[in-house]
Amino acid sequence: MDRYNVDVLIIGAGAIGTAVARELSKFEQTVLVVDRLNDVGGDASKSNSAIVHTGFDAPPGSLESQMVVHSNPMFSGLCSALDIPFKQSGAILVAASDQEDAELQDILKKARENHIFDVEPLSAKEVLDLEPAVTPDVKRGLLVPRESIVDPFLLVVAQAENAAANGMQFLTDCEVVGLTRRRDGFTVESTRGVIRSKYVVNAAGLYTDRVSGFLGIDDFKVHARRGQFHVIDRATPLGISHIILPVPTKITKGKLLAPTVHGNWLIGPTAEELEDKSAHQTTKAGLEEVVASVKRLIPSLDSGSVITQYAGLRPVREPGGYHFRRFDDIPGYLELSGIRSTGLSASLAVAVVAKSMLIEMGMPSDRKPTTTAKREGIPCFRDADTLAREQLIRSDPRYDHVICRCETVTEAEVVQSIHRTPGARDIDGVKRRVRAGLGRCQAGFCGMRIPQIIARELGVSLEEVTKKGKGSEILVGVTKMMRIGCHEDH
């Protein structure tokens, strides 16, 4: 017997897959979202620049431009409904040489062609008045007021939680390894058994080519373009509030500096073409290149204030560009590929288009009588004022127990992150949901407390707790100190 028999199967629980799931959760359809990874959040979707672009520099007239431009205004409302941080920080594109200055006119023209009419030219003085840390060599700039920032992981996880609250199912550690079209739908082989589905949405990012290949579609390839980043401590007196963008090249938007919604800054990314789709590691050369490039725009940048690094892989499609495809000879199959370096920003519009395409393909569109568009976030102790903190502690005494000192994350928040649906199952899952371990000491202090809480809440042994799924177990044995628990600061 098939373990899952659903109306729609979505392959990939990244920004695209979860946004599609949330969009479909309004309808009387059974939907299953599967991901080969051990958590929702995707691959590229959790390791990017975290910018909600306006689309001002997208190729005019392209599907990408249409999606990004259409999505941008949807973010503020969505983030407020999902109770996640969103900030319209604005961006300043800095021309730091005469040659870059000469390119600004074309970028402005492109912005107009993309219907982004609020981009404004700035003189060198205006750039420096807005951001005094920018290089005094600045020639001119462009202000892009609606470029914004989000927490990319929370964006995905909050949509997944909202979709789950409306009946969508999520299955992680579930890799699709085969796909066959039958008369009445699809038979999907996965590492967690056979799934039957009437419709299949391929939102597999880097692996969209492999998934389409299962059905004999072999007219495109996807390779990885790695981007490496440094994260800068929020205690650094950098004093920059806008996203600082270089003049983009044909291949990349270039190495930028972006504030995060949590008060840090990101600098990066590189753009390295790779065949290996698993090369998530950072390199000395890549990270040095990032510092050197951003220092050109912000000379006071101090690499000593870096607290960690990460790398993400952009799914680069050849032939390029966004492609949303249905196939007459494979009814029920929808492929969403080529969503490369603007997919976070475009995801909300992509989901609306995917829903419409599925309906055109025959998916019934009866609406559920009741659904909720809202989701409540985990109340954050750090951001609460004194009165609110007292109320939180009264509601749950575990709010009085700080687990992560750098980010002031309490035991109550860690516990809630585990009991959400879909909830954290490992250390990275907790970290991404409530920021425990993401501060200056990078889990030096809470490194052992989080696994103890995970083990206790999930009813597993400490040896079974992982950093990010099977194969990343963190312990070989348990010391006496760990068995009795380190509760000296209760």
Ligand X SMILES: Cc1cc2nc3c(=O)[nH]c(=O)nc-3n(C[C@H](O)[C@H](O)[C@H](O)COP(=O)(O)OP(=O)(O)OC[C@H]3O[C@@H](n4cnc5c(N)ncnc54)[C@H](O)[C@@H]3O)c2cc1C
* Active site (catalytic) residues: 53
Question: Site mask, ligand X, residues 262-281, x = CB under 6 A?
Answer: -------x------------
Beta carbons within 10 angstroms of residue 456's beta carbon: 13
Rounded Cα distance between 56 and 25, Å, is 31
Rounded Cα distance between 181 and 484, Å, is 55
Q: Of the two residues 16 and 119, which places its CB atom closer to ligand X in the complex?
A: 16
Single residue of 22, 53, 181, 431 touching ligand X by CB under 6 A: 53
Single residue of 55, 90, 312, 439 touching ligand X by CB under 6 A: 312
Question: Site mask, ligand X, residues 178-217, x = CB under 6 A?
Answer: -------------------------xxxxx---x------
Alpha carbons within 13 angstroms on the beta-carbon side of residue 423 total 14
Question: Any residues with CB less than 8 A from the CB of 328 and at least 6 apart, and which?
Answer: none
Q: Of the two residues 207 and 399, which places its CB atom closer to ligand X in the complex?
A: 207
- What distances in angstroms separate CA 146 from CA 54, 74, 206, 438, one per listed residue? 6, 12, 29, 28
Contact (CB, 8 A) for 315 and 227: no
Question: Any residues with CB less than 8 A from the CB of 390 and at least 6 apart, and which?
Answer: none
Q: Of the two residues 67 and 454, which places its CB atom closer to ligand X in the complex?
A: 67
For tokens 């790779």, what's the residue? 274
Asked whether position 45 contacts ligand X by CB under 6 A, the answer is yes
Single residue of 49, 72, 162, 212 touching ligand X by CB under 6 A: 49
Asked whether position 428 contacts ligand X by CB under 6 A, the answer is no
Report the site for ligand X in 328-387 (rule: CB under 6 A).
Answer: 339-345
Contact (CB, 8 A) for 218 and 57: no
Task: Work out how close the CB of 77 gets to ligand X at its nearest, in angstroms, rounded to a whole number.
Answer: 17
- What distances in angstroms separate CA 114 from CA 56, 108, 175, 379, 473, one per listed residue? 6, 10, 38, 39, 48
Q: Of the two residues 14 and 246, which places its CB atom closer to ligand X in the complex?
A: 14
Asked whether position 317 contacts ligand X by CB under 6 A, the answer is no
Single residue of 31, 37, 403, 443 touching ligand X by CB under 6 A: 37
The residue among 48, 65, 356 whose CA lies nearest residue 205 is 48
Span of 32-40, 100-108, 473-481, 482-490 interacting with ligand X by CB under 6 A: 32-40
Q: Of the two residues 84 and 392, which places its CB atom closer to ligand X in the complex?
A: 84
Rounded Cα distance between 363 and 49, Å, is 35
Residue 184 tokens, joined? 């009445």
Asked whether position 50 contacts ligand X by CB under 6 A, the answer is yes
Q: Which residues bind ligand X (CB under 6 A)?
A: 11-17, 34-37, 42-45, 47-51, 53, 175-176, 203-207, 211, 227, 269, 312-314, 339-345
